[in-house]
Structure 1
Amino acid sequence: MATESPSPAPAAPSPALRLLTAIVPALAVGVASALVLLGVSLLAEELQDVLWETLPDALGVGGYSSLWMIVMLTATGLAVGLVVRTVHGHAGPDPATTGLVDTPMAPGVLPGLLLVTTLSLAGGVSLGPENPITAANIALAYWLGRRALPGAPAEMWIFLAAAGTVGALFGTPIAAALILTENIASRPGPGALWDRLFAPLAAGAAGSLTMTLTANPSFDLSLPAYTNPAWSDLLSSVVIASAGALLGLLAVYAFPVAHRLFEALRYPVLAMTLGGLLLGLLGALGGHLTLFKGLDEVKVLAAHPGDWTAGEFAVMAVVKTAALVVAATCGFRGGRIFPAVFVGVALGLCANALVGSVPPALAVSCAVLGVLLAVTRQGWLSLFTAAVLVSDTAVLPMLCIASLPAWLLVTGRPQMQLREDGTPLK
């Protein structure tokens, strides 16, 4: 009796066709990610105006007086602590244990997470929006994407949301591609690296274009162009980047210690209220420019560097470093990239004020590079951010040289992220 031959398996789609089918969901996720970031940012800005201008004016006190900074940051800590204590899911896991790209949260956690993020941004907490907004976008994309396209790889939605958010944050898809290159390259998967980056790059482009057309963000500090490179600049770049890395490592090593101290208080409301008080005291010490995420504040520093001495820049760098550690360990939800950029800019301007022959663009970019390498442990992100702040390709060779000793200082050291048992990642 003749047997029928098995029917041939359907041919797998070509790589080009497979990539083409990912473009539409990538663009949709990128646009949505940018809109979530934009919505939270606009709401936080409106609330910030009320808290720091309208309210103190009505009370007849200085909006950035030492008293108001202490009162406002303490009140912000109390408010955020109460929200974390009462909302469903407690606004996500302990932020000291989370990174920029993590596993998706449950959708029910997101309202509380976005609320405390808005309160922290408006209240002057020294953290950026990148971690919680990325986490929220990953959760939304993962939850909705698996229902809309159940056959698509679940991991795809994580990378699309991360790329769309990072592209929107930095105003360019290059930042998303650089960050995800390190993440994707470390994971096994089929296809060439550019095949695996194709859809995330589209999401990053959609996110950055959406943000550019609606808010026109800019990282350029408008520092004097770096002209006439000199041999002495090699030594300057290495010393400044290494100093930035060492300052960042101080924060990294203080991170688990501060976290244990706040954990010993046992109650998040108490921990964040105390954290807010400490942030207010640090703000009174370093000045109001050391508050908030730091992106707008670094532009003020760079626009009028002659208004501060080298000592004042050094104080701001140290105060912002301490504020970053306090805010990230007491329970506030937020990212560490933008505050670290402020630390680097203040440190670079301090170096320029101490040694006037060091070009400000070189000093700032190298200091930012060193601090970010220590805080983020992301090489491409650190190089990109340092370069984009001065918008001058002439600094790139110096930055590449400066990154070598700075990376030797930070590699193998603990990271600014903890495991659930409180021990730092390495």
Structure 2
Amino acid sequence: MTHDAAPPAPAPATPARTLLALLLPAVVVGAGASLLYVGVSKLAEKLQDVLWTDLPDALGIGGYSSLWMIVMLTATGVAVGLVVWKAPGHAGPDPATLGINASPMPLVVLPGLLVATALMLAGGPSLGPENPIIGVNVALAFWLGRRFLPVLPGALWVTLAEAATIGALFGTPVAAALVISEALAGQKTKGRLWDNLFAPLAAAAVGAMTTSLVNHPSFDLHLPPLGRPGWGDLLAALVIASAAAVFGMLAVYAFPYVHSAFSRLGHPMVALPVGGVVLGLLGCLGGHLTLFKGLSEIDELAQTPDGWSAGQFALMSGVKLAALLVAASCGFRGGRIFPAVFVGTAFGLCAHALVPSVPSALGVSMGVLGMLLAITRQGWVSLFTAAALVASPSIIALLCIASLPAWLLVTGRPQMQLHDDGTPIR
């Protein structure tokens, strides 16, 4: 006689007093991570105004003329190359080997990494601040936490810093909660999910609130909202998201080869200036909107979604993807999420321009979804970002459905992140 096995007992709940003890560290890490992110961003914005407005005006040169774009991107490559060459720790490891998750770095690396990041953000390469800012916050939280509260595990400080920075970057703790829950799903963790999320969610909430109070960020592009979706919208969502994923995979497959080509140059004072020249030429081809991390630039696209032709949108998306590929390969310190959002936005608006019956909000959200799935391989970040850009509740179901074929196109394939030997992570 056989009996069915008893179901596993549910994980025991963590006592409230244990969770409350984590609240103060989470608040401190959340506020500190946000203030560092905002500080670096503000400094980079001030420097960008000087480099791209004040200086060319003083010289009587157009700020976004072809000549100035080539000069500035090349000069940025030289400046960042000098930091990578001479700064202690060489501004951290090769950014091509890093993802959104970070391991604690030695403190000596952090000043050079922050300087290289600020120069990159101000100078125009197509990368965002997320990876280096997460890396710096993780290193600081880990060092300070182990020094002043050694009873807490080191892994907790890493998780708090990552969650706080993601909350600060996106201006909401939802993105951080989704990313952390996705990471926990692949780990053997003790206790219940919400117990494990309590402290990271608190850090993310404080980081998001601090950024909102200080910097007032907004991802909403204020596109015309999508009404009740129909069968045509469903078909368009499936096609655009899948096509954007395939388009993004072109850069993913090219990544190890382009990285290898720049690595053969052998020195950051060669690779980074050469990368700057290439980025300047790409800027001349695609226009000034294809420079920088891309968030301010997608606002300009969204203000007049019918202001460019399908060919112009296609050109901008292709140039921006190539610029992201070059900037990530030649050694600039930065992340790939924000410029990928620009690529997806331009791709979606291209679909809207080709088929005007496709709503601009639908095109943008699906383009961003497919592109981020290919570039980041982060499902929750891709869904959240695509939904946040259009702020239309009726589009969420379409995003979830469209993510399925797009995910099948990218899962199990090389990622846009390399091992130390230059081979792609799968």
Q: Same fold (TM over 0.5)?
A: yes
Q: Give me the whole-angstrom Cα distance separating, in 2, the residues matched to 1:309 and 1:391.
A: 25
Shift of 1:186: 1.0
Shift of 1:144: 0.3
Opposite residue 353 of structure 2, the aligned amino acid is A
Aligned to 1:39: 39
Q: Give me the whole-angstrom Cα distance separating, in 1, the residues matched to 2:298 and 2:43.
A: 22
Opposite residue 405 of structure 1, the aligned amino acid is P
Shift of 1:228: 3.1
Aligned to 2:4: none
TM-score when normalising by structure 1: 0.96
Aligned to 2:347: 347
Q: Give me the whole-angstrom Cα distance separating, in 1, the residues matched to 2:22 and 2:13.
A: 13
Opposite residue 111 of structure 1, the aligned amino acid is P
Aligned to 1:133: 133
Shift of 1:306: 2.1
Aligned to 1:55: 55
Aligned to 1:99: 99
Aligned to 1:308: 308
Alignment of 1:286-297 (within 5 A): 286-297=286-297
For the 8 Å contact 1:69–1:280, the answer to whether it is kept is yes
Q: Give me the whole-angstrom Cα distance separating, in 2, the residues matched to 1:46 and 1:417.
A: 31
Aligned to 1:285: 285
Q: Give me the whole-angstrom Cα distance separating, in 2, the residues matched to 1:35 and 1:371.
A: 29
Q: Does 1:193 pair with 2:193?
A: yes
For the 8 Å contact 1:376–1:416, the answer to whether it is kept is yes
1:125-157 CA-to-partner distances (Å, cap 9, x unmatched) read: 100000000000000000000111101011000
Secondary structure of the residue aligned to 1:151 is coil
For the 8 Å contact 2:255–2:329, the answer to whether it is kept is yes
Q: Give me the whole-angstrom Cα distance separating, in 2, the residues matched to 1:385 and 1:152.
A: 32
Query: Identity over the aligned pairs, expressed in percent?
Result: 64
Aligned to 1:70: 70
Secondary structure of the residue aligned to 2:306 is helix
Opposite residue 245 of structure 1, the aligned amino acid is A
Secondary structure of the residue aligned to 1:356 is coil
Opposite residue 308 of structure 2, the aligned amino acid is W
For the 8 Å contact 1:256–1:422, the answer to whether it is kept is yes
Secondary structure of the residue aligned to 1:225 is coil
Secondary structure of the residue aligned to 1:222 is coil
Opposite residue 241 of structure 2, the aligned amino acid is A
1:92-128 CA-to-partner distances (Å, cap 9, x unmatched) read: 0000001111211001100000000000000011000
1:149-176 CA-to-partner distances (Å, cap 9, x unmatched) read: 1010110000100011000000000010
Shift of 1:294: 0.2
Opposite residue 267 of structure 2, the aligned amino acid is Y
Alignment of 1:357-372 (within 5 A): 357-372=357-372
Q: Give me the whole-angstrom Cα distance separating, in 2, the residues matched to 1:271 and 1:401.
A: 42
Aligned to 1:5: none
Shift of 1:187: 1.4
1:15-36 CA-to-partner distances (Å, cap 9, x unmatched) read: 2111110000001000000000
For the 8 Å contact 1:176–1:204, the answer to whether it is kept is yes
Q: Give me the whole-angstrom Cα distance separating, in 2, the residues matched to 1:225 and 1:118.
A: 35
Q: Does 1:158 pair with 2:158?
A: yes
Shift of 1:14: 5.3
Q: Give me the whole-angstrom Cα distance separating, in 2, the residues matched to 1:348 and 1:189.
A: 39
Secondary structure of the residue aligned to 1:306 is coil
For structure 1, the 5+ residue unaligned runs are 1-11
For the 8 Å contact 1:134–1:165, the answer to whether it is kept is yes
Aligned to 2:79: 79
Q: Does 1:255 pair with 2:255?
A: yes
Alignment of 1:161-310 (within 5 A): 161-310=161-310
Secondary structure of the residue aligned to 1:158 is helix
For structure 2, the 5+ residue unaligned runs are 1-11
Q: Give me the whole-angstrom Cα distance separating, in 1, the residues matched to 2:14 and 2:279.
A: 55
Q: Give me the whole-angstrom Cα distance separating, in 1, the residues matched to 2:31 and 2:218.
A: 19
Q: Aligned pair in 2 of structure 1 residues 26, 59: CA closer, same or farther (>3 Å)?
A: same
Instruction: Name segments (4+ residues, structure 1) moved above 2 Å.
Output: 12-15
Q: Give me the whole-angstrom Cα distance separating, in 2, the residues matched to 1:197 and 1:180.
A: 7
Aligned to 2:399: 399
Aligned to 2:326: 326
Aligned to 1:23: 23
Opposite residue 229 of structure 2, the aligned amino acid is P
Secondary structure of the residue aligned to 1:165 is helix
For the 8 Å contact 2:275–2:326, the answer to whether it is kept is yes
Q: Give me the whole-angstrom Cα distance separating, in 2, the residues matched to 1:306 and 1:360.
A: 9
Q: Give me the whole-angstrom Cα distance separating, in 2, the residues matched to 1:228 and 1:184.
A: 35
Opposite residue 372 of structure 1, the aligned amino acid is L
Q: Give me the whole-angstrom Cα distance separating, in 2, the residues matched to 1:139 and 1:260.
A: 28
Secondary structure of the residue aligned to 1:307 is coil
Q: Give me the whole-angstrom Cα distance separating, in 1, the residues matched to 2:309 and 2:15.
A: 58
Q: Give me the whole-angstrom Cα distance separating, in 2, the residues matched to 1:49 and 1:200.
A: 35
Q: Give me the whole-angstrom Cα distance separating, in 1, the residues matched to 2:60 and 2:279.
A: 23
Aligned to 1:6: none
In the comparison of the two structures, how many residue pairs are matched?
415
Opposite residue 309 of structure 1, the aligned amino acid is S
Opposite residue 244 of structure 2, the aligned amino acid is G
Aligned to 1:9: none
For the 8 Å contact 1:185–1:193, the answer to whether it is kept is no
Q: Give me the whole-angstrom Cα distance separating, in 2, the residues matched to 1:228 and 1:195.
A: 37
1:350-384 CA-to-partner distances (Å, cap 9, x unmatched) read: 00000000011111100100000000101111000
Q: Give me the whole-angstrom Cα distance separating, in 1, the residues matched to 2:13 and 2:414.
A: 44
For the 8 Å contact 1:114–1:132, the answer to whether it is kept is yes
What root-mean-square deviation, in Å, do the aligned CA atoms of Structure 1 and Structure 2 show? 1.0
For the 8 Å contact 1:238–1:402, the answer to whether it is kept is yes
Q: Give me the whole-angstrom Cα distance separating, in 2, the residues matched to 1:154 and 1:179.
A: 19
Aligned to 1:4: none
Shift of 1:229: 1.5
